[in-house]
Amino acid sequence: MCNECFPKCQKCEKGVLVPLSDFSNNAVAIKYKSWACTNKDCRFFIVMRGGDVYYGTATSEAAR
């Protein structure tokens, strides 16, 4: 993975934010639905849900 190709995480400044894609309920691909920090200790994320943008830190429960 090319770390210079992705934005640096502004929360931890150690990892980079990588894009993640998903599928809608109609099996339509949604590119870059979310972004997640590659630093496993940081776990910062940005995600789109229903047209709204949410950001925060994943809990240990969600990481399992």
**What's the mean pLDDT in 32-61?**
84
Task: Tell me: pLDDT of 60 over 90.
Answer: no
Q: How many domains, the chain? A: 1
Residue ranges making up the domain that contains 21: 3-57
pLDDT value at position 41?
93
Task: Tell me: pLDDT of 5 over 80.
Answer: yes
Residue 64 falls within a domain, yes or no? no
Half-sphere exposure (Cβ direction) of 25: Cα atoms closer than 13 Å = 2
Task: Tell me: pLDDT of 43 over 60.
Answer: yes
Residue 33 falls within a domain, yes or no? yes
pLDDT tens-digit readout, 20-29: 888 877 888 8
